Amino acid sequence: MNPGAGRSRPWINRENVERLLARYGLDWEIWVSEKPGDGTTLARRAVARGYDTIIAGGGDGTINEVVCGMVGSSAALGILPLGTVNVLARDLRIPLNLGKAVKVILERNIMLMDLGCANGRYFTLMAGFGFDAEVVARVVRPLKDMTGATAYVLKGLEMLAKYEATEMTIEMPEKRYRGKAYLVVVANSPDYTYRLKVAPYARHDDGLLDVLVFEQPMTKRLGFIRQIIEVFIQRHVFRKDVQYYRASSVMVRSDPPAMVQLDGDPFGTTPVAISVAPRILPVIVS
């Protein structure tokens, strides 16, 4: 459990989670993460102790850490959506109501889920390059704690006024792209945030990654704003300046180096090599 997750929802705390788990008579322990990376360390400890279910209590960043500690084991991932946005939980139709989420875990309906792997680190949702990674890197933690997802919206509006497109080179087994782009998304999930489907054809278990390139339009920044607006109405995939590919592996380079985010957390800069690990993670779904 990440005690810092979902601070905009103060009723979510360890005591309430313990009370909820006790109500269902589960044999459980709660281990609390205290710093970045603890989720991976604690998940590895749980695997070593033979637990058959490892529950990530937090948001998408917490799930990412826990998954990285579970890969290669037979343990199933359960999700208690305690975070700010909870993209993966929403995508897998796991209720945001914690009581209902625990019932889903008890029913133990398991799917085998693909993971992306970027420079050796696994991700469940997406890798983002350029604009969105800059926004993620610049959101101040106290503002996120106070306002939740609104912090990203505010920072995104600020960055729209000054972010410049980057020369991107994207190599895939059967395609190669080179050009100026504001944003590149390599997706394992259709949902990007809430119900915003940046990669509408992506699936969690198809053995492929969906690659979207938001190219620099003729009208530059104004055109990029139009691209983003059309994401909200699911028309962006029909634009000539938005490229959509599907591949089992992707190499992303840029000049100059572009910021990178994995599952909503900063992940350095390009170059990044990404591959898909098909159906590698048992996850409990609704």
Which candidate, 62, 65, 46, 45, places its Cα nearest to that of 54? 46
What is the structure's pLDDT at 147?
Answer: 46
For the chain, what are the domain ranges? Answer: 14-108, 123-278
What is the structure's pLDDT at 19?
Answer: 86
Tell which CATH architecture fits domain 14-108.
3-Layer(aba) Sandwich (3.40)
Quick one: tokens of 211? 């690659």
Q: In residues, how long is the chain?
A: 286
Owner of token pair 């620099």: 216
What is the structure's pLDDT at 141?
Answer: 57
The amino acid sitting at 118 is A
Domains 14-108 and 123-278 share a fold: no
10: exposed, middle or buried (C-beta count within 10 Å: 0-12, 13-18, 19+)? exposed
What is the structure's pLDDT at 150?
Answer: 58
What is the structure's pLDDT at 244?
Answer: 98
166 DSSP β-pair partners: 181
Angstrom distance (rounded) from CA 218 to CA 252: 23
What is the structure's pLDDT at 7?
Answer: 61
Class of CATH domain 123-278: mainly beta
What is the structure's pLDDT at 157?
Answer: 66
Residue-wise pLDDT tens for the chain (286 aa)?
Answer: 988 776 656 567 788 888 888 888 778 889 999 998 999 999 999 999 999 999 999 999 999 999 999 999 999 999 999 988 899 999 999 999 988 999 999 999 999 999 999 999 999 999 999 999 998 887 645 445 554 555 566 666 677 778 899 999 999 999 999 999 999 999 999 998 767 899 999 999 999 999 999 999 999 999 999 999 999 899 999 999 999 999 999 999 999 999 999 998 999 999 999 999 999 999 999 8
Q: How many CB atoms lie within 10 A of CB 108?
A: 13
Angstrom distance (rounded) from CA 247 to CA 51: 34
What is the structure's pLDDT at 121?
Answer: 97
pTM to 2 decimal places? 0.91
